[in-house]
Structure 1
Amino acid sequence: MSRIDLRHIECFIAVAEELSFVKGADRLHTTQPPVTRMIQQLEEYLGAELIRRTTRSVALTVVGEVFLKEAYLVASQFGNSIERARQAAVGLTQELVVGYEASSAMDMLPRAMKQFKEEFPGVSLRLVEMVTDEQASALKNSKIDLGFVVPPIYDTALRATPILSEPLVVCMSEGHRLAGRNPISLAELTSEAFVLSPRSKRCGLYDQVIRVCNSAGFNPAVAQETGEMQIMLGFVAEGVGITLLPAHVTKLVAQGVVFRPLLEASAAVELAIAHRATESSTVIERFTQLIRECTNYTPPTQGKVERTYLQLAVA
């Protein structure tokens, strides 16, 4: 025999730990004869008996006990080498920084993070709260690696993959004149005062709400601005105005606020996950895939995606 390889080491460890050729073979999902041959070849190569066999028992020799310790080191080093090579192959970084907009933080994010950390334990996953416009800038400046953005975005340096389309709901005080209606038409909100996030913050949700209202033929009258969702719902509860928020907000405890669906199916907020167009990796692709799995979202055709998110950029 000219050399030994990892298969010999694996066979020896299995038999040494089980103290049985039969059980060692079962653990390796094979039969006893090839395992026996591997051990014999290993002993021939070393010129020493590693395992003493009798008709009733199997035991390690003194040499076998010494070699078992070394075999563990070899197996461990091999595993570490494979992991480092895998990380190098996928361009794995030590940290993945993800931006998100508070209004679009869904249940899917914690679930996807849990699965991601199980698959990539060596990668630190850090979340940074920022609005869509801030995320676009942070992506271009390499301050974050991924961003949960509310489209459209009009920068061809970024690539946005749609992951969710969620209905908007009307948030109003319990005593509001429309609180008993279900559903509510956008046309019924024409004369209402709205509580919205500041336009200056370039919040993606703000743009979506304006778009939805404009599609119904009116521009919302803003009575109060705030960037904090809980404060926004507080204003709503006090009757300062109404607002439109993604349907997941109904899971929040908001005393004095009722949520009603809109009649128009087109009244929805889109969510996309964005990264730099010239940069991708297995880590980014897998995280995006996990998000899609959590939302059960089926994306439209590639052509439709490009028209939706880049129409102004190429106009």
Structure 2
Amino acid sequence: MELRHLRYFIAVAEEKNFSYAAQRLHIAQPPLSQQISALEVEIGAKLLDRKKRPLQLTSAGQVFLEEARLVLAQLEHAIVQTQRASRGEIGQLVVGTNSSIANSLLPEMLRTFRDRFPNVKLVLRELTASEQIQELHNRRIDLGFDRLPHSHQQDANLSYLPIVRESLVIALPTTHPLTNQAEIPLEAMADEPFVLPSPEIVPSYTEIINLCQQAGFFPKVVQEATWVITVLSLVAGGVGVALLPSNVQNLQRTGVVYRSIKGVNLSREIVVVWRQEDSSPVLHEFLNVIRELTASPP
């Protein structure tokens, strides 16, 4: 049985006449009659009462007509959905996020993409940068965000698109005397206790240390923390000051103020990263949104 046999039967059942059905289908009447007879033999039941004029469906024919229409309707639905999927209009995208991108560009990315593709399911997974790379290789996420690795450290199986460059700011308790300055030279922090965030949050522990040493001192680290919110809580509690990526300024934490670093600063380039061989239309539509929002080249 082929789909054309269903279409033939539906035409005959609706026209109640072989001649009219043949004209509608643009085929000759004898082959059409033969196809319907063969269909009845294959099913093992009479579908049409040929003795009546106009033709009448048997009880079995009425059931088969309903089911045949459902089959063709489901096929049409499958075709439409497949075409939509090929255009990236439906499907699912699993996005790895971290605090840097969540505090800066991610909200606008999500808002724009959802407006354009409301039927795509977006799944967000909060992971450290290193976890995102691992989950990309494991195919558990479709794209993530990381700092741009040095050229010799880049994975040949991944693609990287730079989207934003961010520098560091100083986070201070509101009661700190230096909060009256708009910019603070890093050397002014020489005698301050430091709350040092995880290397997953800032460029790296070593680079922070080197930056401070360039300013003439070695930071007095009194506490380390994994997440930004913990660092800010410690700063608000007067435990120490912190150097954090500039995106942290989007987090308004009571008891904390942010100040720019005067003079030499440390910056890093944030990239969106995905599997190079991934041809998912949904993924590439999301990348197009990112390129538009960040004016990044293809």
TM-score past 0.5 threshold: yes
> Larger Cα Rg: Structure 1 or Structure 2?
2
Residues 25-40 of structure 1 mapped to structure 2, 5 A cutoff: none
Over the matched positions of the two proteins, sequence identity in percent amounts to 32
Residues 253-292 of structure 1 mapped to structure 2, 5 A cutoff: 253-264=252-263, 266-292=265-291
What SS does the aligned partner of 1:195 have?
strand
* 1:125 alignment partner AA: L
Residues 247-258 of structure 1 mapped to structure 2, 5 A cutoff: 247-258=246-257
* 1:249 alignment partner AA: V
Residues 39-78 of structure 1 mapped to structure 2, 5 A cutoff: none
Is 1:169 the counterpart of 2:165 in the alignment?
A: no
CA 1:266–1:284: 2 relative to 1, 3 Å: farther
Tell me how far apart the structure 2 counterparts of residues 210 and 178 of structure 1 sit (CA, whole Å).
Answer: 25
Is 1:115 the counterpart of 2:112 in the alignment?
A: yes
Tell me how far apart the structure 2 counterparts of residues 104 and 89 of structure 1 sit (CA, whole Å).
Answer: 27
* 1:147 alignment partner AA: G
CA 1:177–1:164: 2 relative to 1, 3 Å: same
What SS does the aligned partner of 1:222 have?
strand
Q: Which residue of 2 aligns with 1:293?
A: 292
Tell me how far apart the structure 1 counterparts of residues 166 and 110 of structure 2 sit (CA, whole Å).
Answer: 21
CA 1:186–1:148: 2 relative to 1, 3 Å: same
* TM-score (norm: length of structure 1): 0.61
CA 1:84–1:219: 2 relative to 1, 3 Å: farther
1:148, 1:272 within 8 Å by CA — same for their partners in 2? yes
Tell me how far apart the structure 2 counterparts of residues 140 and 129 of structure 1 sit (CA, whole Å).
Answer: 16
What SS does the aligned partner of 1:179 have?
helix
Q: Which residue of 1 aligns with 2:140?
A: 143
* 1:235 alignment partner AA: L
Q: Which residue of 1 aligns with 2:95?
A: 98
What SS does the aligned partner of 1:239 have?
coil
2:100, 2:247 within 8 Å by CA — same for their partners in 1? no
What SS does the aligned partner of 2:252 have?
coil
2:202, 2:244 within 8 Å by CA — same for their partners in 1? no
Q: Which residue of 1 aligns with 2:34?
A: none
Cα deviation, 1:104-138, whole Å, max 9, x if unaligned, reads 31353222223223333342110011111111111
1:168, 1:245 within 8 Å by CA — same for their partners in 2? yes
Is 1:87 the counterpart of 2:57 in the alignment?
A: no
What SS does the aligned partner of 1:254 have?
coil
1:210 Cα shift? 4.2
Cα deviation, 1:157-212, whole Å, max 9, x if unaligned, reads 3222111112321101122242222211223334432212345xxx1x33346425
What SS does the aligned partner of 2:272 have?
strand
Q: Which residue of 2 aligns with 1:243?
A: 242
Query: Superposition RMSD on alpha carbons, in Å?
Result: 3.6
2:147, 2:269 within 8 Å by CA — same for their partners in 1? yes
What SS does the aligned partner of 2:202 have?
helix
CA 1:186–1:158: 2 relative to 1, 3 Å: farther
* TM-score (norm: length of structure 2): 0.64
* 2:97 alignment partner AA: Y
How many residues end up aligned between the 2 structures?
230
CA 1:119–1:212: 2 relative to 1, 3 Å: same
Q: Which residue of 1 aligns with 2:221?
A: 222
Q: Which runs of 5+ in 1 are unaligned?
A: 1-44, 47-73, 303-315
Is 1:206 the counterpart of 2:205 in the alignment?
A: no
2:92, 2:282 within 8 Å by CA — same for their partners in 1? no
Q: Which residue of 2 aligns with 1:126?
A: 123
2:93, 2:120 within 8 Å by CA — same for their partners in 1? yes
Q: Which runs of 5+ in 2 are unaligned?
A: 1-22, 25-71
CA 1:213–1:297: 2 relative to 1, 3 Å: farther
> Which is further off, 189-198 or 236-245?
189-198
Tell me how far apart the structure 1 counterparts of residues 138 and 218 of structure 2 sit (CA, whole Å).
Answer: 34
Tell me how far apart the structure 1 counterparts of residues 141 and 90 of structure 2 sit (CA, whole Å).
Answer: 12
